[in-house]
Structure 1
């Protein structure tokens, strides 16, 4: 139990916590500055436990974007399906969007439940080499709201990393919420310190209102030491399934992802066009890459996947 000041609220992370003075629960507390800059914090024993649990996971990749609604979860889902299209590759998705979990729906397993064994929680399997863990499996109803402060979110993310029996994995993809707040700090603190993070894939759309927030996310990665594997421009034009003509639904008024990546010294992994069939596949829990394999968007997903494999240094026969 972390030391807490007298009369501290339940949401207080405790004075010895690594997050003392830095979580949303600390805002307005008269002791915030003291906790944030006080005596050295005791190391969290969960770090060693997470390191042991994830020792059999080869690559860990975060899917990030400072902006909501740009398609992080959709990209995570379809990237997972693309990686798992090779049956020799073991893939898992960790959904840490605590307040808006969508991976159970997008992967077609929203009615499943998490089971516990002597080795920990078992993730839910979509197919033999693809699994997922999400708070969505722990809710009484898909419509239930999760109304939690930072420390409780932090505790669940820690539990997902420490107590889930992930098994032997080639790739663990982490689907994150928008922003640079509690969930992001927690995943970097625990996953980065315990097992290392190969890097982050940053998702944006072409318009400047999205790029503004994405720049903040990239700077967040640099401040916390997470490498950026590259940028993906989602909703990059619309290609008509019938005539194959491309239309710019969201014109890149300031140069889009290409200009931003050039300014920030990053590479663009690819440009994903709008395709109504992507949304339909996500609603039905299907693999877009498998269902519409010859579409321009599916070909882009495969191209982006190969670049991520190379960025992670994955040059074995599983490519």
Structure 2
């Protein structure tokens, strides 16, 4: 934990805005240049003599809505023109695009989904929509862990709770900030568990939090009652979901009977609500902490 309280106000969500803009650009550029892309693919089919062919792309003018008007010409095989491959205004197209192509009903365009590959080669930013979408997914995956960190920090006073958000809402917002801070790294291509850890680590850095997550998890479980009471005393709403037995078992990827056995043997946390009822419930934060202690 940090020695001085860390403020968590001043929300910013550039990742959401960037994702929305990227999706709009994707649709607009694809609609604008699909016929140019189809013509390039037709030329590739007719004249390719190598597995990779270089094309020159030139923006000659712009339309009234600001889109570029493209012209193109085939340069030739990469073996003879490879020095142009990384230069602005040139793209590489693989002949394998033709083998994977299929007709489409869209105004008689022949090359199907591979039209997108050509437009994306001309405008690499077209891939940003998918990239930002995966970063957003990483933020949602990291948010439960960040929620646990915020609960501990706010209850202890190490985090200054200067927002009217619930802890759950602040956790997602801050996880989005953490994900956005990793946008220049290839983290969006990681597996879900790796991406969650990567975004969590980035968010912890933004918050000035250090240490092993399992230590935080153990702290939360050992002091759960005191932490929840301290939050209530400060009128800070946890705001997380209450999970039933089946939902907890599903998150742990174990059978319901296995989980109830763990609870009976005190190998899993006791319910946060309804302990003596037929429908016990656990805070999502409690479950997140327990699962962290179970990970190697």
TM-score band by shorter chain is under 0.3
Question: Whose Rg is larger?
Answer: 2
TM-score normalised by the chain length of structure 2 = 0.22
- TM-score of the two chains, using structure 1 as the length reference: 0.21
Is the strand fraction higher in 1 or 2? 1
